Amino acid sequence: MDTKQRILEEALTLFSEKGYANVYVGDIAARVGIKAPSLYKHYKSKQAIFNAILAKMDERFMDQAKALNINGANPIPDAEIYKHMSEEKLLELGKSLFLYYLHDDYTQKIRKMLTIEQFKDKRLSDVYMEMYVDEPLRYQSALLGLVTAGGMLTTDNVDIMTLHFYSPIYMLLTMCDRDPSREPEALKMLEAHIKQFDKLYGRKDK
Amino acid sequence: MDTKQRILEEALTLFSEKGYANVYVGDIAARVGIKAPSLYKHYKSKQAIFNAILAKMDERFMDQAKALNINGANPIPDAEIYKHMSEEKLLELGKSLFLYYLHDDYTQKIRKMLTIEQFKDKRLSDVYMEMYVDEPLRYQSALLGLVTAGGMLTTDNVDIMTLHFYSPIYMLLTMCDRDPSREPEALKMLEAHIKQFDKLYGRKDK
DNA sequence: CTTGACGGCTAATTTGAATTAGCCTATAAT
DNA sequence: ATTATAGGCTAATTCAAATTAGCCGTCAAG
């Protein structure tokens, strides 16, 4: 078992629940199944553990950005799909986006940790915004742009349409992060939101 | 000068910037213009200062709720105004809401503090949600309900319409909290959002 | 078969921040 | 005028948490 890796995982879990300052190195060690001083065989300090988590996050984020081809000339790999976007498909898209963000273990923990630690370090709030505001808006804008081009949605301002699509998702997400018991309620609202969105922006003659 | 009050103000400022754990009692004292031990003439402990801030927040929040008559039989005092809601008025409503939340010193600091500390204590996340999610949605829903009744907006689901109105405001707000330099950009998007909102929900024959 | 590095442990040690002790001055009430 | 209280200060003290010292067993390479 890779202790060095385990330490990062358990530390991230704890940091995301209680924040850096409220987690003691002994807590991390206990969850890994060792004693606090043994941590220092793997990392120079508590801060170094935190830094390693961020480094790994950066790495993953870069990979993901590359995988999504966001910057490349070819924005969406399977563009054709989005030209024939039905209400059901839109619904599925929104729900899977929401549920992925909400339930993916790593993503959720990172998001919570960034939320807690963001005001300590501008770099963290920048990462948060890129991950949960700017990048989703950019990506979905490209996507909804295709749908619009395909004629399934109509607007003269794709960016605002994207804002209308995504911001409820974002708000419901922050709601469920704070209170997971409200997930069913959030899902109901999400569905109603997307149906309404489709009605508002969908072609009248659809 | 009311030192006891000053302490709460300076402590809130610091807590909202750096989080409880990263603020030292000496920092608070320094800003007030005294030495750390003197704080203890006014509050039993650092935690007691934090609690006092929350107590005062609760108090204000109660007052505000009462002033808005949210629970009372009479939801909006000057309901008539809202029956004749033009695009410009809607715009003004949204902008003033946004700018109030964003710039009101006390509100902003409380929001940032709750954001940082929320995962430590469920009570804090509950307050946050009430203040920035549930209460605004309830209030605006009542308001937009009136507008709808007046015939200036059309929908079969006021709650979703309200979600569509408010969630972009919410998202832009959290964006500006993280990076105040993006306020102009946010304001532009806010305006475009509301104009588009009005187009989408406004009566076709307006 | 022995050596050295890896990774664990217990028992210090360090550190730094919160809190307490105890003193001093000003002021307001008796 | 005396005294009590409020509120400030400096100099301890406490305490918890991070880190270091130093020991030990295992195991793979030579």
Per-residue pLDDT tens over the stretch A52-95:
999 999 999 888 877 765 555 455 666 677 777 889 999 999 99
Each residue's pLDDT, cut to its tens digit, for chain B (206 residues) gives 799 999 999 999 999 999 999 999 999 999 999 999 999 999 999 999 999 999 999 999 888 877 765 555 455 666 677 777 889 999 999 999 999 999 999 999 999 999 999 877 899 999 999 999 999 999 999 999 999 998 899 999 999 999 999 999 999 999 999 999 999 999 999 999 999 999 999 876 54
A94 vs A111: CA distance, rounded Å? 19
Whether B49 and B9 share a structural domain: yes
Whether B10 and B108 share a structural domain: no
Tell whether B205 is covered by a domain: no
Give me chain A's average pLDDT, please: 91
A131: nearest Cα among A47, A25, A54: A54
* pLDDT computed for residue B57 by the predictor: 96
Residue A140 has pLDDT above 90, yes or no: yes
Query: Is the minimum distance from the CB of B35 to strand C below 7 Å?
Result: no
The two tokens of residue A112 are: 């919570």
Query: Is the minimum distance from the CB of B47 to strand C below 7 Å?
Result: yes
The two tokens of residue A51 are: 């830094």
Footprint of strand D on the protein (CB under 7 A): A 23-26, 36-37, 40, 44-47; B 3-4, 29, 34-38, 41-42
Are B17 and A115 inside 8 Å of each other by CB? no
Tell whether B120 is covered by a domain: yes
The torsion region of residue B154 among left (phi > 0), alpha (psi -120 to 50) and beta comes to: beta
Whether B92 and B151 share a structural domain: yes
Q: What residues form DSSP beta bridges with B202?
A: B153
Tell whether A61 is covered by a domain: no
Query: Is the minimum distance from the CB of B65 to strand C below 7 Å?
Result: no
Tell whether B87 is covered by a domain: yes
Return the residue matching tokens 């015939």: B151
Contact (Cβ atoms closer than 8 angstroms) between residue B194 and residue B97? no
Tell whether A41 is covered by a domain: yes
The two tokens of residue B47 are: 């935690």
> Which residues in B59-100 belong to E strands, given as ranges?
none
Tell whether A206 is covered by a domain: no
Whether B131 and B189 share a structural domain: yes
Contact (Cβ atoms closer than 8 angstroms) between residue B17 and residue B112? yes
A182: nearest Cα among A104, A87, A98, A91: A98
A139: nearest Cα among A55, A82, A54: A82
Q: Which residues of A touch B22 (CB under 8 A)?
A: 21, 120
Show which positions of strand C are touched by protein (CB under 7 A). Answer: 6-12, 17-22
Inform me whether the C-beta atom of residue B189 falls under 8 Å from chain A C-beta atoms: yes
* pLDDT computed for residue A168 by the predictor: 98
Are B163 and A193 inside 8 Å of each other by CB? yes
Inform me whether the C-beta atom of residue B185 falls under 8 Å from chain A C-beta atoms: no
Q: Report residue B157 CA to chain centroid gap.
A: 24
A146 vs B189: CA distance, rounded Å? 21
Exposure string over B69-100, b if 16+ CB within 10 A, otherwise e: eeeeeebbeeeeebeebeeeebbebbeebbee
Per-residue pLDDT tens over the stretch A158-191:
999 999 999 999 999 999 999 999 999 999 999 9
Inform me whether the C-beta atom of residue B47 falls under 8 Å from chain A C-beta atoms: no
Whether B149 and B87 share a structural domain: yes
A185 vs A183: CA distance, rounded Å? 5
Q: Which residue among B53, B79, B95 closes a domain?
A: B53
Q: Which residues of A touch B161 (CB under 8 A)?
A: 196
Per-residue pLDDT tens over the stretch B37-74:
999 999 999 999 999 999 999 999 888 877 765 555 45
Tell whether B60 is covered by a domain: no
Find the domain containing A42 and state its range. 1-53
Could you give phi then psi for residue B202, rounded to 5 degrees?
A: -70, 155
Calculated CA dihedral for residues B140, B144, B149, B154, nearest 10 degrees: -150
Tell whether A179 is covered by a domain: yes
CATH number of the structural domain spanning residue B157: 1.10.357
Q: Give me the number of domains chain A comprises.
A: 2
Whether B90 and B7 share a structural domain: no
Inform me whether the C-beta atom of residue A95 falls under 8 Å from chain B C-beta atoms: no
Whether A38 and A106 share a structural domain: no
Whether A99 and A152 share a structural domain: yes
Q: Is B206 helix (H, G, I), strand (E, B) or coil?
A: coil
Whether A37 and A105 share a structural domain: no
Distance from CA of A44 to the nearest CA of B (A): 21
CATH number of the structural domain spanning residue A16: 1.10.10.60
Whether A6 and A45 share a structural domain: yes
Whether B30 and B130 share a structural domain: no
* pLDDT computed for residue A69 by the predictor: 58
Whether B34 and B83 share a structural domain: no
Cβ-based neighbour number of residue B161 at 10 Å: 24
